[in-house]
Amino acid sequence: MTKKLVVFCHQKTPRLRGRIQLSTDGFSAYPGAVEDAFGSEVDYGWLIKNFGSALERIEARYSPAPLKSMRGSKVIGDPDPRYISTSIIERQNLNIRMCLRRFTRLSNGFSKKLDNHKFALALYNMCYNFVKIHGTLRVPPTMEAGVSDHVWTYEEVVGLLG
């Protein structure tokens, strides 16, 4: 269990109300960190994916290995098996890679400096949550959650810098 992961989990617990269901992939450090931060006050399951061997052909070098099997299982509490999934975070990762080309290693926008990644990610998240009107919600997520009372403009976001 890595110390940074435990600190990350402890930072999240005060921000959450009530009992939550949490899902992760099968990284072995997650259960210890989740238990340390949440104790038994969480419904936690993980999704284990088994992949086949990656193809050795040059054309397939950047393609994912074929998925052989998937198994969700209970780790702590009583998670609903229907909701043990990593789809939401995988979709968020795809959105970030598609919108922020500096995270795509083989693009000309790729950045090697950690500070540049941090600033770009902060700006992306601010605009994604406060400025962008989401199709299913018809408002930004912060308005839907009651955090904001209006759709922010890019000028308002830039105004936070000064």
For the chain, the farthest-separated pair of C-alpha atoms sits apart, in whole angstroms, at 53
| Residue boundaries of the structural domains of the chain | 3-85, 89-159
pLDDT at 42: 95
**Statement: the pTM of the whole predicted model exceeds 0.85:** no
The predicted pLDDT at position 58 comes to 58
At 85 the pLDDT is 93
Taking the CA atoms of 82, 17, 91 and 61 in sequence, report the sign of the dihedral they define. Answer: negative
Specify whether the CB–CB gap between 50 and 69 falls below 8 A: yes
Q: Are 78 and 20 in contact (CB under 8 A)?
A: no
Task: Find out whether 40 and 20 touch, Cβ atoms under 8 Å.
Answer: no
Task: Give me the tens of pLDDT residue by residue for the chain, a chain 162 residues long.
Answer: 578 888 888 898 888 888 999 999 999 999 999 999 999 999 999 999 988 876 655 566 667 778 889 999 999 999 999 999 999 899 988 888 888 888 777 778 888 888 988 998 999 999 999 999 999 999 999 999 999 999 999 999 999 987
pLDDT value, residue 117: 87
Residue 65: the pLDDT is 79
DSSP 6-19: HHHHHHHGGG--S-
State the Rg of the chain over Cα.
Answer: 19
> Which pLDDT does position 54 carry in this prediction?
66
